Amino acid sequence: MFFKKLLQPKYLTLVLVLIILASAAYGLAAANVVPETGAGEGTGTVSGYTISNIAYTLLTTDPSKVESLSIDVAPTEGAGAAGDVRITVDAGTTWISCTGPVTTTWTCTFGSGSEPEISAISNLEVIAME
């Protein structure tokens, strides 16, 4: 009985219109193109930027602590130059804003009194974005 009603012309027309609308919506969504940007996050190699030439500067008054560090942040193909770079050496508890760039080099300075001990730095995480 249900199938007999479904085969009536008004229901077939409704189903056909719904199929056409769904196909059109799918086609429009599939046509969206998002350009490549300098975005990425993770451990190891991440698309968007290449991080290199990491250099630590020790605190003059206490060479067991790091005063600042410099890093080169070079965009990969399709990405623009970095406009904002931040680092963390404590697994994301504290983020340090970096200044620059001078060519592709950014300088990240720890605030006075918050310089980390060299022995406490086990990883460096960098966030770079356009």
What is the DSSP track for 6-49? Answer: HTSHHHHHHHHHHHHHHHHHHHHHHT------S---SSS--TTE
**Total-model pTM:** 0.65
pLDDT value of position 129? 86
> Among residues 64, 36, 30, which one has the least CA distance to residue 48?
36
Full pLDDT tens readout for the chain, 130 residues: 566 766 777 777 877 777 887 777 776 666 666 565 565 565 665 567 889 999 999 999 999 999 999 999 998 877 888 899 999 998 888 999 999 998 889 999 999 988 999 998 888 899 988 8
Residue 125 is classified by DSSP as E
pLDDT attached to residue 39 = 59
Please report, for the chain, the start and end positions of each structural domain, with discontinuous segments joined by +. Answer: 1-33, 49-129
CATH class, range 49-129: mainly beta
**Confidence at residue 18, expressed as pLDDT on a 0 to 100 scale:** 79
Q: Are 43 and 129 in contact (CB under 8 A)?
A: no
